[in-house]
């Protein structure tokens, strides 16, 4: 059963007509289909063209079964199309939480592995794949290999962060962390500028979670003005007395939906400046207990928020710079963004810790900055200037966000040669490709 669908990533740019298949089971997904040369797509939450393949996009949405859980170790086994939202909804009430979570829970476990996602705890906990015990990988020729740090380790390292280019992830086991409550003890601090923000991150290394919201239109002495959010899983004692009996209960929240594409003019430097100023003012420094959803997934409260950028879509630019160059590099990036005034609805700064073992994994020790831009010719030119800053600083761009960079930016990935070698060794370069891998010559 196959169909042709017009698909895009979360940024809605680019859009590509793709032949799709939706296997009902892992057994079906593992069958060889020589006519399909493509890539698996989980919930389509990578931003650019990573999950698009014209000849064959394999939708894993039916591979959504939870298979086993061991409360002694916290190890959860599930099929790759399982949504993180389902994991959170099922296991928080039992006192378990994903070891690493990205900024949305509408991602599949397979997608989390393929992008080797990181979260607000990266500086201490590392990326998601560091908590993956094993995964079952369909090689596209009918064979399925169980890969781990000890079995087919090179394939495991290529698959973790490999953007789906090493096969179809069928199922995986990963280790969850125990939590005593469904709430986060949050502390908010304001940073008047970039130096202050970096100092707060350094001083706050002991926090499990940390992230900063940057007002990227602030310029001059205010450059890098931000709100830094620190967090810990709350203990039972931290809860108000009335809630201590049901510490794992999560409130039921409605989500709003963006009902139509905003006109392209809706986001401009004035509306975004007003929003950012308001947001900065509204986040009062201090400590409070907050729920998991607003803390980890603030944008999930607005379903289809990608529509606010209108029909042309948007690109999310996420780069990481090593410590040696991050202060200067971030300053240059933020100054370029502020001077340009292109609306970035979201600018997020985060301290990163040790790099992952994944050959194409994004994280490295340093700082990562994320900005959104509407797709227009001037912003695309601005991003080329960004690329130069990142390249010069020895940084890299996150493949899960990328929709437009040139192949020269792959120089930021030292595991690239080994990644290509593993793909060739298993014949995977003949069976798996995406619009992104074509663009980058991966």
Task: Give yes or no for residue 148 binding other proteins (CB under 8 A).
Answer: no
Task: Work out whether 62 is an interface residue with other proteins (CB under 8 A).
Answer: yes
Residue 210 CB, shortest distance to other proteins, in Å, is 32
Q: Can you state the percent helix, strand and coil of the chain, rounding each to 5?
A: 35, 25, 40
Using CB under 8 A as the binding rule, whether residue 20 contacts other proteins is answered as yes
Nearest approach in angstroms of CB 60 to other proteins is 13
Tokens of 280: 């900065």
Interface with other proteins includes 436 (CB under 8 A)?
A: no
The smaller minimum CB distance to other proteins, of residues 78 and 165, is found at 78
* Residue owning tokens 């990533």: 9
Please identify, among the stretches 16-24, 223-231, 282-290, 305-313, the one whose residues bind other proteins according to the rule CB under 8 A: 16-24
User: Which residue's CB is nearer to other proteins, number 67 or number 324?
Assistant: 67
Q: Which of 68, 153, 339, 388 binds other proteins (CB under 8 A)?
A: 68
- Binding flag, residue 67, other proteins (CB under 8 A): yes
2 binds other proteins (CB under 8 A): yes
Q: Which region among 57-65, 217-225, 242-250, 408-416 touches other proteins (by CB under 8 A)?
A: 57-65
Residue 241 near other proteins by CB under 8 A: no
Token pair recorded at residue 442: 């991966």
Q: Which stretch binds other proteins (CB under 8 A): 40-48, 64-72, 354-362, 369-377?
A: 64-72
Stretch that binds other proteins, among 24-32, 233-241, 368-376, 404-412 (CB under 8 A): 24-32
Give the Cβ contact number of residue 388 at 10 Å: 11
Cβ-based nearer residue to other proteins, 86 or 232: 86
Are 135 and 147 a contacting pair, CB within 8 Å? Answer: yes
Query: Contact between 27 and other proteins (CB under 8 A)?
Result: yes
Give how many residues touch other proteins by CB under 8 A.
20
CB neighbour burial string for 185-210, b if at least 16 within 10 angstroms, e if fewer: bbbbbbbebbeebbebbeebeebbbb
Compare residues 17 and 195 and give the one whose CB is closer to other proteins.
17
Q: What does the DSSP 8-state code read for residue 83? A: B
Angle ∠(104,23,306) on CA atoms, nearest 5: 25
Contact call for residue 16 and other proteins (CB under 8 A):
no
**255 counts as binding other proteins under rule CB under 8 A:** no
Long-range contacts of 380-383 (CB under 8 A, 24+ apart): 380/315, 380/404, 382/336, 382/337, 382/340, 382/342, 383/315, 383/317
Tell me the closest approach of the beta carbon of residue 86 to other proteins, in angstroms.
8
Query: Using the rule CB under 8 A, is 1 a contact of other proteins?
Result: yes
**Which of residues 17, 25, 151, 378 is near other proteins by CB under 8 A?**
25
Report the nearest approach of other proteins to the CB of residue 344 (Å): 32
Strands (E), 22-92: 39-41, 57-59, 66-70, 75-79
- Please name every residue paired with 172 in a beta bridge, in sequence order, or none if there are none: 78, 135
Give every CB contact of residue 109 below 8 A, 6+ residues apart in sequence.
Answer: 42, 78, 79, 80, 81, 82, 83, 84, 87, 172, 174
Q: Is 181 in the site for other proteins (CB under 8 A)?
A: no
Report the C-alpha gap between 121 and 351 in whole angstroms. 9
Smallest distance from the beta carbon of 3 to other proteins, in angstroms?
A: 4
Query: Is residue 86 part of the contact set for other proteins (CB under 8 A)?
Result: yes
Q: Does 3 bind other proteins (CB under 8 A)?
A: yes
Q: Token match 């789906």: residue?
A: 164
Contact 410, 347 (CB under 8 A): no
Indicate which single residue of 8, 10, 22, 370 sits in contact with other proteins (rule: CB under 8 A).
22
Nearby residues of 40 by Cβ (< 8 Å), 6 or more positions away = 51, 57, 58, 59, 60, 80, 110, 114, 164, 168, 169
Q: Tell me whether residue 182 or residue 330 sits nearer to other proteins (CB atom).
A: 182
Rounded to the nearest whole angstrom, what is the least distance from the CB of residue 83 to other proteins in the complex? 12
Q: Residue 2 forms beta bridges with which residues?
A: 21
Pick the closer one to other proteins by CB: 24 or 378: 24
Selected range binding other proteins among 59-67, 156-164, 261-269, 330-338, rule: CB under 8 A: 59-67
Instruction: Report the alpha-carbon angle 38-39-42, nearest 5.
Output: 150
| Binding site residues, other proteins, CB under 8 A | 1-4, 20, 22, 24-27, 62, 64-69, 79, 86, 90
């Amino acid at each position: 059963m196959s169909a042709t669908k017009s698909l895009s990533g979360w940024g809605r740019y680019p859009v590509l007509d793709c032949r799709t298949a939706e296997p009902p089971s892992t057994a079906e997904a593992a069958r060889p289909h020589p006519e399909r040369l493509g890539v698996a797509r989980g919930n389509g939450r990578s931003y650019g063209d990573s999950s698009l393949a014209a000849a064959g996009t394999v939708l894993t949405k039916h591979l959504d079964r939870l298979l086993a859980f061991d409360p002694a170790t916290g190890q959860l086994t599930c099929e790759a199309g399982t949504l993180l939202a389902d994991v959170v909804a099922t296991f928080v009430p039992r006192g378990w939480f994903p070891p690493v979570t990205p900024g949305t829970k509408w991602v599949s476990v397979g997608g989390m592995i393929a992008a080797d996602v990181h979260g607000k705890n990266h500086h201490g906990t590392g990326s998601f794949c560091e908590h993956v015990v094993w995964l079952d990988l369909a090689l596209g020729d009918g064979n399925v290999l169980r890969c781990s740090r000890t079995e087919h380790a090179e394939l495991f390292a290529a698959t973790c962060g490999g953007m789906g280019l090493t096969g179809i992830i069928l199922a995986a086991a990963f280790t969850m962390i125990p939590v005593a409550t469904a709430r986060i003890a949050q502390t908010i601090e304001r940073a008047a500028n970039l130096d202050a923000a970096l100092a707060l991150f350094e001083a706050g290394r002991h926090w499990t979670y940390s992230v900063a919201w940057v007002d990227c239109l602030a310029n001059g002495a205010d450059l890098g003005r931000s709100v830094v959010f620190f967090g810990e899983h709350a203990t039972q004692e931290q809860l108000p007395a009335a809630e201590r009996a049901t510490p794992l209960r999560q409130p039921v929240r409605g989500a709003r939906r963006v009902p139509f594409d905003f006109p392209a003019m809706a986001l401009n430097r004035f509306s975004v400046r007003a929003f950012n100023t308001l947001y900065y003012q509204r986040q009062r420094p201090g400590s409070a207990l907050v729920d998991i959803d607003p803390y980890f997934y603030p944008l999930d409260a607005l379903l289809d928020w990608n529509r606010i950028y209108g029909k042309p879509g948007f690109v999310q630019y996420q780069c990481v710079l090593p410590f040696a160059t991050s202060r200067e590099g971030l300053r240059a990036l933020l100054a370029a963004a502020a001077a340009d005034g292109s609306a970035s609805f979201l600018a997020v700064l985060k301290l990163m810790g040790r790099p992952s073992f994944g050959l194409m994994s994004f994280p490295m020790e340093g700082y990562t900055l994320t900005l959104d831009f509407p797709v227009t010719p001037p912003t695309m030119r601005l991003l080329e200037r960004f690329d130069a800053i990142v390249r010069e600083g020895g940084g890299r761009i996150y493949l899960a966000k990328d929709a437009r960079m040139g192949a020269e930016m792959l120089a930021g990935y030292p595991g690239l040669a080994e990644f290509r070698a593993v793909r060739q060794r298993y014949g995977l370069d003949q069976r798996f490709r995406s619009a992104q891998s074509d663009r980058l010559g991966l």
